[in-house]
Structure 1
Amino acid sequence: MKTKIIDGVEVHIGSGNIFADLELADADKLKIKTGLVIEIRKALRNLDLTQQDAAKRMGITQPKVSDMMRGDLSNLSERKLMDCLTRLGFDIEISVRPAKTLIGHLMLSTH
């Protein structure tokens, strides 16, 4: 993490992935899952769905929707979250390209 002095205060510049900055395992996956859930939450709000209606539409149980809304992503894979988004009317595009570094990374881009 880069450090900068601004007005005499040491400031740490984030990498753009808070999970990596916190040195959490699977930081890229956590960032992807969180990004997908943010999009799901936006869609549910825009569609004005109850948790029960959202569960039916996404093909998961209402308790899993509740977990998702509370930020518990442990029982939902990236693949399942993508499936939820497609069931809510979103297209998902996966792009693969050579990495600029020795080891590549995962990222989520929303429009």
Structure 2
Amino acid sequence: MKKRIADEVEFELSSGNVFADLGLPGADKLQIKSGLVGEIRHAMRKLELTQDEAAQRMGIAQPKVSGMLRGDFSGLSERKLMDCLNRLGYDIEIRVRPSADAIGHLKLAVA
């Protein structure tokens, strides 16, 4: 990360992945999960669903919904989160393409 100084305060620019910036293992997957949960939260608001109603539609227990909305993704795979979005009326499209780098990257794009 690049260091900058503004108003005599030194700071580092983000890489765009806060989980990687914090040095957490599995940062790419955490960023994907976080983005998917953000869309689930958005869908729940748009559909005006309570946690109980959302849990029923998504096929998971209400405590899992509560934990998910608080950032606890344990026990929820990316696939399960995508399934939850499908059940809330979202289409999921996965696109695979060659990377310019030696090792590719995971990226979530929301329309």
TM interval, short-chain normalised: over 0.9
Which amino acid in structure 2 is aligned with residue 109 of structure 1?
A
Paired-residue identity, %: 66
Aligned to 1:93: 93
2:94 counterpart SS class: coil
Aligned to 2:105: 105
Separation in 1 of the partners of 2:7 and 2:44? 43
Aligned to 2:63: 63
- Within 5 Å, give how 1:24-63 maps onto structure 2: 24-63=24-63
Deviation string for 1:21-75 (max 9, x for gaps)? 1111000000000000000001001111111111110111111111112211112
TM superposition shift of 1:11: 2.0
Which amino acid in structure 1 is aligned with residue 92 of structure 2?
I
When the two structures are superposed, what TM-score results if normalisation uses the length of structure 1?
0.95
2:38 counterpart SS class: helix
Structure 1 residue ranges, 4+ long, deviating more than 3 angstroms after superposition: none
Aligned to 2:12: 12
Which runs of 5 or more structure 2 residues have no equivalent in the other structure?
none
Separation in 1 of the partners of 2:17 and 2:64? 25
TM superposition shift of 1:7: 3.3
Separation in 2 of the partners of 1:89 and 1:71? 22
Separation in 2 of the partners of 1:87 and 1:93? 15
Separation in 2 of the partners of 1:55 and 1:109? 24
Moved more, 2-11 or 63-72: 2-11
